[in-house]
Amino acid sequence: MQGPVEKGLVVRVTGGEVWVDLAGRLVPCALRGRMRHGDGTRVVAGDRVTVTPPARAGEAGAIEAVGERASLLSRYVERVEGERPIVANVDELFVVATLTSPPLQHAFVDRLLASAEQGGVRSAVVLNKLDLCRAEEVEAFTSVYTAGGYPVLATSAHTGEGTEALARRLGGGVYAFVGASGVGKTSLLMRLDPRLDLKTRELGERTGRGRHTTTFSQLYRFSGGWLADTPGAQTFGFPGSDALDLVRCFPEFAEPGARCRFHPCTHSHEPGCGVKAAAESGAVPATRYQSYLQILGEIEERRRRRAR
Ligand code: GDP
Ligand code: ZN
88 within 8 A of 121, measured Cβ to Cβ: no
CA of 125 relative to ligand 1 center, distance in Å: 16
156 and 206 within one domain: yes
pLDDT of residue 42: 74
- Domain assignment present for 234: no
- Whichever domain contains 31, its CATH number is 2.40.50.140
Establish whether residue 131 lines the binding site of ligand 1, counting it when its CB lies within 6 angstroms of any ligand atom: yes
Closest CA to ligand 1's atom 2: 182
- Whichever domain contains 303, its CATH number is 1.10.40.50
Please give the number of the atom of ligand 1 that sits closest to the Cα of 189: 7
Parent domain of 21: 6-66
180 and 89 within one domain: yes
206 and 169 within one domain: yes
Ligand 1 pocket mutation, candidates 126, 187, 190, 234, criterion most atoms within 8 A of CB: 187
176 and 289 within one domain: no
- Domain assignment present for 288: yes
Residue where a domain terminates, one of 66, 91, 112: 66
28 and 152 within one domain: no
87 and 155 within one domain: yes
299 and 210 within one domain: no
Q: Could you list the pLDDT tens digit for every one of the 308 residues in the chain?
A: 456 899 999 999 876 789 999 999 999 998 876 555 444 447 899 999 999 999 998 899 999 888 999 999 999 988 888 898 899 999 999 999 999 999 999 999 999 999 999 999 999 999 999 999 999 999 999 999 999 999 999 999 999 999 999 999 999 999 999 999 999 999 999 999 999 876 545 434 444 443 343 456 799 999 999 999 876 667 799 999 999 999 999 999 999 999 999 999 999 999 999 999 999 999 999 999 999 999 999 999 999 988 88
73 within 8 A of 113, measured Cβ to Cβ: no
150 and 186 within one domain: yes
Closest CA to 47 of 214, 238, 226, 171: 226
Residue where a domain terminates, one of 202, 229, 256: 229
pLDDT of residue 216: 65
Q: Are strands 225-229 and 174-178 parallel, antiparallel or unpaired?
A: parallel
CA of 114 relative to ligand 1 center, distance in Å: 25
CA of 131 relative to ligand 1 center, distance in Å: 11
Residue where a domain terminates, one of 229, 260, 279: 229
- Domain assignment present for 235: no
- Domain assignment present for 1: no
225 and 79 within one domain: yes
Give strand ranges (E) for the chain.
Answer: 6-13, 18-22, 25-31, 48-52, 61-66, 72-77, 82-88, 92-97, 123-127, 152-154, 174-178, 218-222, 225-229
- Domain assignment present for 114: yes
Number of domains in the chain: 3
Establish whether residue 187 lines the binding site of ligand 1, counting it when its CB lies within 6 angstroms of any ligand atom: yes
pLDDT of residue 183: 96
pLDDT of residue 233: 64
Global pTM value: 0.92
